[in-house]
Amino acid sequence: MDRLANAGNTIDIIKSHNFTFQKRYGQNFLTDTHVIDKIMDAASLTKDDHVIEIGPGIGSLTQYLCEKAGHVSAIEIDRELIPILNETLKDFDNISIINEDVLKVDIGKLIKEQCMKGSTKVVANLPYYITTPIVMGLLENHVPVDSIIIMVQKEVADRMQSGPGSKDYGALSLAVGYYCRPHIVANVPPNCFIPRPKVGSSVICLDIYDDPPVKVKDEELMFRIIRAAFNQRRKTLVNSISNDVSMGISKQDVAKALEDLKLPETIRGEALTLDQFARLSERLIF
Report the C-alpha gap between 39 and 61 in whole angstroms: 9
CB 156 within 8 A of CB 193: no
In a structure prediction context, what are the per-residue pLDDT tens digits for the chain, which is 286 residues long? 578 888 999 999 999 999 999 888 999 999 999 999 999 999 999 999 999 999 999 999 999 999 999 999 999 999 999 999 999 999 999 999 999 999 999 999 999 887 667 799 999 999 888 999 999 999 999 999 999 999 999 999 999 999 998 899 999 999 999 999 999 999 999 999 999 999 999 999 999 999 999 999 999 999 999 999 999 888 999 999 999 989 999 999 999 999 999 999 999 999 999 999 999 999 998 6
Q: Which amino acid is at 209?
A: Y
In eight-state DSSP terms, residue 271 is: G
Contact 265, 258 (CB under 8 A): yes
Burial (CB count within 10 angstroms: exposed 0-12, middle 13-18, buried 19+), residue 44 = middle
| CA–CA gap between residue 204 and residue 184 (Å, rounded) | 4
**Based on the number of CB atoms within 10 Å of its own CB, is 49 exposed (0-12), middle (13-18) or buried (19 or more)?**
buried
Residues in the chain: 286
Which pLDDT belongs to residue 250?
Answer: 94
Assign a CATH topology to domain 7-208.
Answer: Rossmann fold (3.40.50)
CA distance 59 to 133: 23
Whole-angstrom Cα distance, residue 74 to residue 65?
Answer: 10
Q: What is the DSSP letter of 278?
A: H
Asked if the domains at 7-208 and 219-283 fall in one CATH topology, the answer is no
CA–CA dist 55, 57 (Å, integer): 6
What pairing do the DSSP bridges indicate for beta strands 201-208 and 147-153? antiparallel
29 CA to centre of own chain = 18
- Rounded Cα distance between 243 and 152, Å, is 33
Cα separation, 225 vs 56, in Å, equals: 36
Tell me which of 1.10.8.100, 3.40.30.10, 1.10.20.10, 3.30.565.10 is the CATH number of domain 219-283. 1.10.8.100
| Domain boundaries of the chain, sorted by first residue | 7-208, 219-283
Q: What is the pLDDT of residue 5?
A: 87
Distance CA 151, CA 28 (A): 11
